Amino acid sequence: MHWADVIANTLMARGDKHLISTGITPSGYIHVGSLRESITANAVYKALKDKSADADFIYLVDSYDPLRKRYPFLPESFEKEVGKPICYIPCPDNCHDNYAEHFITPFLEALGELGIKPRIIWTHKLYEEGKFTDIVDLVLRERATIASILGEVTGRKMPENFWPFTPECPKCGLFTDKVLGYEFPYVHYKCGCGHEGDADIRKGQGKMPWRVEWAAKWKLFGVTCEPFGKDHAASGGSYDSGVRLAREIFEMEPPHPIPYEFIQFKCRGQMHKSTGNVVTGSDALLITPAPVLAFGVLRYNPERHIDYDPGLGIIDIVDEYDKVESLYFNGGADEKEIDLLRAYEIAQPTGVRSKLPLQVPYRHLVSIAQIADSYEGVVKVLKRSMNIDDISEEDMNVLKQRIGCVRHWLNAFAPEEVLYIISPERPDMEISDDERSYIVELLERLRTTEWIGDLIHNAIYETAKGRGLQPKVCFQVLYRLFISRRSGPKLGFFLSTMDKDFVLKRLSEA
Ligand SMILES: [Zn+2]
Ligand SMILES: [Zn+2]
């Protein structure tokens, strides 16, 4: 059974009503790995829905968290913003209302592209609207117990004067832990800047520290399931403290945890352009078709780590996806592949299609995108070389997305070995007598061959066989003749993407 269904069954044994929670502090560019959390949560949500459970799915944007430091991508002027809540810091590029929005917006768009649509909740609004008032009041009254729980779980000595609430000072804009006392609804403090005041816990004038806040969110929403990075699951980590806070302070069962492994970058092949920086979720979607990216995550158990290879790995994963897609519609999957079919199903942003979508080998698209300039041009070459008459609107949409991904990939991540240029003139090269007579025969054969990839391939292959030549040797001479290299894309298909007269002329020049 696919892991998402296993988790859904575990949850159903616990109760009928479920809330899956995910979230992030958008303090900078959001790495592709963060998509794993949302894809994982969405899978369990979908599995619950498929079992007709009452399920809901939220995404908490921790917009009230302070900026921890000035990251290298921030201008020097942001030094003064460190320590302020990211919802009150300006957008670094002046294109959003605030800092948090700037970094979360592209990420939420990426989720939308993956068909993941949780309810988005902004933490700073929860505070401002007084949603946390009762909970904050409770944790302030229970501060001694909370301090001992945190001390025991983390093994760290808690400060004498621990308060599970840090007021936001209106004078300097920073959070302060210099709390002097509490009487509902005011937390009295004296900030490091000298300002002394009262923070009203009903109006979002301060926040809980994050370990406490995490459990407080479980309480507020009634969270029953939450995926989180495995670092939080470590012994003494925030999930451990959350469990105790949930049971001992909030009188609830903690959510079912789904610790997940990180997505690691591993690039095979030399990238022709160095990208240097992080690959964000949006970057990944620029080069990986959305359902393929989701499939790449869903096919593995959350506890297994995933290598994301933006080089040749992209071609492999698309091929794998297409293979599973064909098994899904044509049948023939063995026992081991059943879970892959389910991963394919869950990965579809708008549900599974009614019949097998048009399958164009991704390598073919990589070739054509290097020959044809426009999208229309690609489609034209594709139709001719693969002998396709009609492409449905749904298939067109898939193609459009894939061609877009291929183009971005070629521009940024594709390794040298898939890039090639068709030599405009016959390259200056030596050709043996055997090779020459092979080409002469092939030329005659191709004159009468319909200009379709498969048929050209057969002609190349059979001519070689008929002359008792190694096909590999024949392929090499043809690659040399057209792209001045010894290897390249699938030859029959590749030649079919070019104009027939051009190919025949080049062969006759050999
Ligand atoms: Zn912006
Ligand atoms: Zn202050």
Dump pLDDT digits (tens) for 465-480: 999 999 999 999 999 9
CA of 197 to the centre of ligand 2 (A): 9
**pLDDT for residue 275 is more than 50:** no
pLDDT at 274: 42
Ligand nearest to the CA of 100: 1
The pLDDT, as a whole number, for residue 425 is 87
Domains for the chain: give ranges and CATH numbers. Answer: 3-126+210-260 (3.40.50.620), 133-144+155-207 (no CATH), 264-415 (1.10.10.770), 433-509 (1.10.10.350)
Residue 98 CA to ligand 1 center (angstroms) comes to: 7
Ligand 1 centroid–CA 92 distance in Å is 6
Q: Nearest ligand, CA of residue 168? A: 2
d(CA 176, CA 160): 16
CA of 60 to the centre of ligand 2 (A): 27
Ligand nearest to the CA of 98: 1
What pLDDT score was predicted for residue 353?
95
**Cα(297) to centroid(ligand 1), Å:** 29
Gap from CA of 31 to ligand 1 centroid (Å): 17
pLDDT at 276 over 50: no
Q: Which ligand is nearest to the CA of 166?
A: 2
In the reported structure, the alpha carbon of residue 397 is separated from the centroid of ligand 1 by a whole-number distance in angstroms of: 29
Q: 105 C-alpha vs ligand 1 centroid, how far in Å?
A: 8
Distance 180 CA to ligand 2 centre (A): 14
Helices (H), 18-98: 34-50
Q: Which ligand is nearest to the CA of 189?
A: 2
Using the mean position of ligand 2's atoms as its centre, give its distance from the Cα of residue 171 in Å.
Answer: 5
Both tokens of 181, joined, read 């006392």
User: What is residue 413's predicted lDDT score, i.e. its pLDDT?
Assistant: 84
The whole-number pLDDT of residue 273 equals 47
Residue 411: pLDDT over 60: yes
- Structure confidence by residue, pLDDT tens digits, 422-479: 888 898 888 999 999 999 999 999 999 999 999 999 999 999 999 999 999 999 999 9
Average pLDDT rounded to a whole number, residues 35-43: 97
Centre of ligand 2 to C-alpha 175, Å, is 7
Beta bridge partners of 61: 24, 122
168 CA distance to ligand 1 centroid (A)?
Answer: 24
The pLDDT, as a whole number, for residue 278 is 63
Count Cβ atoms within 10 A of the Cβ of residue 170 and give its class: 0-12 exposed, 13-18 middle, 19 or more buried.
Answer: exposed
Would the pLDDT of 107 be above 60?
yes
Q: Supply the pLDDT for residue 31.
A: 85
pLDDT value of residue 391: 93
Q: Is the pLDDT of residue 242 over 60?
A: yes
SS3 call for 84: coil
pLDDT score of 283: 86
Provide the β-strand partners of residue 263.
306
| Ligand nearest to the Cα of 172, by number | 2
User: Ligand 1 center to residue 110 CA distance, Å?
Assistant: 16
Tell me the CA–centroid distance for residue 204 and ligand 1, in Å.
24
Q: What's the pLDDT score for residue 266?
A: 72
Mean of pLDDT values over 145-153 = 97
Q: 191 C-alpha vs ligand 2 centroid, how far in Å?
A: 5
Mean pLDDT over each residue of the chain, to the nearest integer: 93
Average pLDDT score over residue span 231-249: 94
Compute how many other C-beta atoms are within 10 angstroms of the C-beta atom of residue 120: 13
Between 198 and 453, where is the model more confident?
A: 198
pLDDT at 245: 98
pLDDT at 362 over 80: yes
CA of 3 to the centre of ligand 2 (A): 49
% the chain with pLDDT above 90: 79
Query: How far is residue 49's CA from residue 4's CA, in Å, rounded to a whole number?
Result: 11
Q: Which ligand is nearest to the CA of 89?
A: 1
Contact status, residue 302 vs residue 259, Cβ threshold 8 Å: yes
* Ligand 2 centre distance from Cα of residue 166 (Å): 12
User: From the CA of 411, how far away is ligand 2's center (Å)?
Assistant: 48
Ligand nearest the Cα of residue 95 is 1
Q: Is the peptide bond before 185 cis (omega within 30 degrees of 0)?
A: yes
Q: Is 269 left (phi over 0), alpha (psi -120 to 50) or beta?
A: left
The torsion angles phi and psi of 313, rounded to 5 degrees, stand at: -55, -30
**Where does the pLDDT of residue 358 fall: very low under 50, low under 70, confident under 90, or very high at 90 and above?**
very high
**Ligand nearest to C-alpha 97:** 1
Rounded distance from Cα 84 to ligand 1 centre (Å)? 17
Closest-approaching ligand to the CA atom of 92 = 1
- In the predicted model, what is the mean pLDDT of residues 52-62? 97
What is the pTM (predicted TM-score) of this model?
Answer: 0.90
Q: Cα of 190 to ligand 2 centre, how many Å?
A: 8
Question: DSSP readout, 304-359?
Answer: S-EEE-SSTHHHHHHHHHHHHHHHHHH----GGGHHHHHHHHHH-TT---SSPPP-
Task: Please tell me the distance between residue 73's alpha carbon and the centre of ligand 1 in angstroms.
Answer: 13
